[in-house]
Amino acid sequence: MTLRRLEFTVKKLLREILIQSVLSAWWVVCDFGSGFAFIPAVCEFWKNSEKHSMSLLYTSLIRPVLFQYDPELVHDVLVNWASKLQSHPGFTRQFRTLLIDETRQKPVRLWNLTFPNRVGLAAGFDKNVQAPWFWWMLGFGHIEFGGVTQFPQPGNPLPRIFRLPADKAIINRMGFNNDGMEEIAKRLEKAGPFPVPVGINIGKNKWVENDDAPAAYSAVLNQLYNFAGFFVVNVSSPNTPNLRKLQDKEALKAIFGTLQNDREQFQIRKPVLLKLAPDLSERQREEVAGLVRDLAIDGLVISNTTLDRAGLTSPGSLSSQTGGLSGRPLRSKSTEMIRQFHTWLPEVPIIGSGGIFSVQDAEEKLAAGASLVQIYTGFIYQGPGLVRELAGMQV
């Protein structure tokens, strides 16, 4: 199936969502009289229904069709569609008012940044800053772009994303495919001042030796410093050879020592966080916790994807694929890791990620010690309605 035909199919399936939002927008802007009295009711249902109509539409109609096609192709089509939709700012603002009730959100203050709610879009979904205002429209309280490397790179060969519906999971081996820091800097500048905190996930190119990693991370931080509210050092992706070796104590010392020196040249001190793999041994975790304390690292993102395949029920043709596993199977593993690091480092803010498919899942991570949460695979399986539910959490 061609990209053009798939894009047409996706647009057709999303038409009901667009019709509801456009009708509501027309009603707000224009006075159509009593003959259109049903439109306010649609708007009120859209804003106040606990079981959001978008969630039902997505999981029962849209997702089954999208899941028939290659995951990366669907993702690219949807991000491209989102990029086009955000070019109409009046529409995106109106759509956001329908999706998100600002009065129900509880802002969070961290690192001198105000997060309007606790849910963010995890790194990897919009690697190249293609649709920033679309994610804001859906209600995300922060957005993490990237991973960004110093130079453009295509990533690993296709196919490299695999859905495991029986496990509500995804395996990916993308390999830091991105357009490079210079192009991404242009897009962030074009996006302009942003109403929610922006994070940048930074990595290194595949061909960069680990000994040269501090310079590679430094280049990205310096190039993008003025466009981000916070940075996340990604040394935990399983899809770049030997990258996880950078989670060793001496390697982390070198990287964070360089980055912390770099930011001294800037007027504003921005937080630099560390993203960890859930597969670290107990000894490695203890070493990292000590290093976070010694270097005064600003925060943690827990966790990245896992290499563990225990308990999967999907066919071996799927579960045996190489790459990082995300989704429901990661929920408990990441939550326990959050609880462990919060016990060791109660003063260090944590962004919790991994297996969040509901408000209960998110609250579980917050209770374990996370201050914010991020979604990726849950967003794919549950749709935009999940964002609305998480944005309204009262914890």
Buried b (16+ CB within 10 A) or exposed e, 371-390: bbbbbbbbbbbbbbbbbbbb
The whole-angstrom separation of Cα 382 and Cα 241 is 32
Number of residues in the chain: 395
User: How many CB atoms within 10 Å of residue 11?
Assistant: 13
Residue 237 designated active-site: yes
Asked if 327 contacts 348 with a C-beta cutoff of 8 angstroms, the reply is no
Q: Is the peptide bond before 315 cis (omega within 30 degrees of 0)?
A: no
SS3 label, residue 205: coil
Q: Of 237, 303, 314, 334, which one is the catalytic site residue?
A: 237
Answer left, alpha or beta for residue 192, where phi above 0 means left and psi between -120 and 50 means alpha: left
DSSP 108-174: EEETTEEESSSEEEPTTTTTT-S-HHHHHHHT-SEEEEEEE-SS-B--SPSP-EEEEGGGTEEEE--
CA-based torsion, 150, 151, 152, 156: positive or negative = negative
Instruction: Choose among 381, 292, 266: nearest CA to 331.
Output: 381
- What residues contact 303, with CB distance under 8 A and at least 6 apart? 236, 275, 276, 277, 278, 330, 333, 334, 337, 338, 353, 354
Hey, what are 136's tokens? Answer: 């804001």
> In sequence order, what are the beta bridge partners of 273?
232, 299
Gyration radius of the chain's alpha carbons: 21
Q: Report residue 135 CA to chain centroid gap.
A: 10
Hey, what are 311's tokens? Answer: 């308990």
The residues annotated as belonging to the active site are 237
